[in-house]
Amino acid sequence: MKMVKNQQLVYSCILLFICLIDLSNAARSNPPDDVLEWVQKDDRRFLRANIRVGDLNRTIKFYTEFFGMEVLSRKDFPKVNISNAVIGFGSEETQFVLGLTQHHSAVDKLELGTAFHHFGITTQDIYTMVEKIRAAGGVITREPGPVAPGGTTIYAFVNDPDGYSFELFLRPPTPEPINHICLNVVDIDRSIDFYQKALGMNLLVPKYNNTQEQYTVAMVGYGSNYTQTTVIELQYNYNVTDYTKGNGYAQVAIGTDDVYKSAAAVEQVIQELGGKIIQPPGPIPFIKTKITAFLDSDGFETVLVDN
């Protein structure tokens, strides 16, 4: 009887051991899929896009006077000759905003490059806005008007004093008036795949192929309605395979509940689609906020910031 019990114990132990091995195998093979699934459920939103500007005061004047943005914060760092401002249509606690940086003693010129395309903002009075910009000597690159004759969406393109392009949309008020960032990409399917898998975005506007103007665009973002939330517009221009990054548009920051899992997911998608982790997940010295940063398959930088 004792013998049998011992034997049973041994069998139980062996079974348990096998189960544990199975579990650890499962644990080893599962997390990658788990993090990709987790990314889809993470609490994410667009926080900020950072750009370098030639003259901070001039840019602030333009964005406040003509676009109607307000300065949310402003800081000068005289020791390193840098001035910063955060500007937008409302609090950065709830809205996507722009971060502006001027390097006062920069020896390199501000180069916008060709990869960054434009920002999009929503306005309820596009005609007045464009006329004010024109009257002040601003550059209008597309007059306000419908997409197609008889179309209902009215839009225009203007340049800011550095030459950053802004698409203006005539739309009712939305929670996110800084509505999109448009980036030029060389493989739109790969980019859509990257932003969906690595960043958990939804395809809010499927690929639209404009054969006349020779480009294809798609929009990815969080939420479900591209007019109500900030999106990344991915643009493929026929036959263009090379873009210059310049030093103007720097990166976009996105909030996450876990920078470590986020980085693991990005790392995995990078294996398949290309890209590079440039800042492993962890706290930034002194500030202690946890972040991770990476380049996507086209070399655009994203920073994931702990919520």
Ligand X SMILES: *[C@@H]1O[C@H](CO)[C@@H](O)[C@H](O)[C@H]1NC(C)=O
Number of residues that bind ligand X (CB under 6 A): 17
**Within positions 10 to 49, which residues make up the interface with ligand X, using CB under 6 A?**
none
Among residues 8 and 214, whose Cβ is nearest to ligand X?
214
**Binding-site member from 30, 91, 214, 244 for ligand X (CB under 6 A):** 214
HEC string of the chain? CHHHHHHHHHHHHHHHHHHHHHHHHHHHHCHHHHHHHHHHHCCCEEEEEEEECCCHHHHHHHHHHHHCCEEEEEEEEHHHCEEEEEEECCCCCCCCEEEEEEECCCCCCCCCCCCEEEEEEEECCHHHHHHHHHHCCCEEEEEEEECCCCCCCEEEEEECCCCCEEEEEECCCCCCCEEEEEEEECCHHHHHHHHHHHHCCEEEEEEEEECCCCEEEEEEECCCCCCCCCEEEEEEECCCCCCCCCCCEEEEEEEECCHHHHHHHHHHHHHHHCCEEEEEEEECCCCCCEEEEEECCCCCEEEEEEC
* 80 lies in the site for ligand X, by CB under 6 A: yes
**Within positions 138 to 197, which residues make up the interface with ligand X, using CB under 6 A?**
188
Among 65, 167, 176, 267, the one annotated catalytic: 167
* 239 lies in the site for ligand X, by CB under 6 A: yes
Among residues 67 and 294, whose Cβ is nearest to ligand X?
67
* 212 lies in the site for ligand X, by CB under 6 A: no
Among residues 202 and 216, whose Cβ is nearest to ligand X?
216
**Binding-site member from 7, 12, 57, 289 for ligand X (CB under 6 A):** 57
Among 86-94, 126-134, 208-216, 270-278, the segment contacting ligand X (CB under 6 A)? 208-216
167 included as an active-site residue: yes
**Binding-site member from 2, 28, 105, 287 for ligand X (CB under 6 A):** 105
**Binding-site member from 4, 135, 206, 211 for ligand X (CB under 6 A):** 211
**Site of interaction with ligand X (CB under 6 A):** 57, 80-81, 104-105, 188, 207, 209, 211, 214, 216, 225, 227-228, 236, 238-239
The catalytic residues are: 167
